[in-house]
Amino acid sequence: MGQPVQSMTGVGLAAGASEAGEVRVEVRSVNGRGFAAKLRLPNACSAYEAAIDELLRARVGRGSLTVVLERAQQSGALPDAVTMREVAAGLRALAADLKLDAPRLSDVLGAAQAARQGEPLTSRPLPPRLLALFEQAIGELLARRAAEGQRTAAAVLDELNAHEARADEVAARAPQLLDAYRQRLLQRVQEFAAQAPSSASVAPAAELVREVALYADRIDVAEELQRLRAHTAALRALLQGGGEVGKRLEFLLQELHRETNTLGAKSPDAAIAHATVAMKAHIERMKEQAANLQ
């Protein structure tokens, strides 16, 4: 078995000291057709947006993600040390270029506070401690998605087993329909022959055989049952194989639904009709579960 089946639903949390001060990281995901991430970052950390997005794309895969980075209330109004160092280096370089006096602490603080009010001009890679917190939150998210994925896969397999049991009922019932029809047809012919005058013509045996054969062809569901078994085997192998199964699972469930519909449409039997209704209900529940799998 490869990588475990993963749900697209989960949450990961991390908190601790970082280069941006005390922070709390929250990464949540729900099901989505592809990858999408919404980031809520404080102004002082908005330069990390591209780096966070790249990290999420590399680690998470499919899903609609919401990322929240919160900074603890700082004592005083000082910007974080990283911002102060970057601003100081920039001011020193500018002062040297303009042949002016080196900037004082008050100059650096004023420029850093002003910069903090707006968006950073350039993107920056995540510094080590902040990166470690994001890795921790994403790791927890993936662990929860894997656990939820295993539960979801098990639920899909339960529904698949129930669908297969109903299909077996149909397979056992289908041959009985032809025998019952043959008996009804023969009984009607015999009743007609008994009541008809001796001069009346009675359908020859060849015509009866042809009529039974035509009926058998109309209600024959052997091909549909065979394809249902093939789709069921493919679904079971897909779920047990692990990895990213969501899109392939959706396709196979569509095929399973189509064959089940055809099965119900071809049979005039009430018992088979009831069985196919139950089979379609199992498929709908599988579709709901599959929508959450990556």
Mean pLDDT, rounded, of the chain: 82
116 in the same domain as 67: yes
Q: Is residue 136 part of a domain?
A: yes
**Token match 């993963």: residue?**
6
Q: What pLDDT does residue 65 have?
A: 95
Region 34-38 average pLDDT:
92
Q: What pLDDT does residue 79 have?
A: 67
- How many domains does the chain contain in total? 2
Q: Is residue 4 part of a domain?
A: no
126 in the same domain as 175: no
Q: Which residue has the higher pLDDT, 147 or 119?
A: 147
Q: Domain of residue 132: give its range.
A: 10-148
Any idea what DSSP says for residue 293? B
Helix (H/G/I), strand (E/B), else coil: 147 = helix
Any idea what DSSP says for residue 69? E
Of 127, 148, 169, which residue sits at a domain end?
148
43-53: pLDDT as tens digits? 878 889 999 99
186-231: pLDDT as tens digits? 565 555 556 655 555 555 555 655 655 555 555 567 778 888 999 9
| Cα gap 126→59, rounded to integer Å | 15
Q: Is residue 188 part of a domain?
A: yes
126 in the same domain as 163: no
Of 148, 182, 216, which residue sits at a domain end?
148
Q: Is residue 248 part of a domain?
A: yes
Q: Is residue 2 part of a domain?
A: no
165 in the same domain as 69: no
134 in the same domain as 156: no
193 in the same domain as 139: no
Of 148, 167, 201, which residue sits at a domain end?
148
Q: Is residue 191 part of a domain?
A: yes
118 in the same domain as 185: no
pLDDT-above-90 percentage for the chain: 43
214 in the same domain as 226: yes
Q: What pLDDT does residue 215 have?
A: 56
91 in the same domain as 188: no
159 in the same domain as 141: no
161 in the same domain as 259: yes
172 in the same domain as 126: no
Q: Is residue 236 part of a domain?
A: yes
Type and span of the H or E element at 210: helix 205-219
Q: Is residue 5 part of a domain?
A: no
> Are the C-beta atoms of 149 and 2 separated by less than 8 Å?
no
Q: What pLDDT does residue 143 have?
A: 94
> Are the C-beta atoms of 66 and 53 separated by less than 8 Å?
no
| Cα gap 72→211, rounded to integer Å | 83
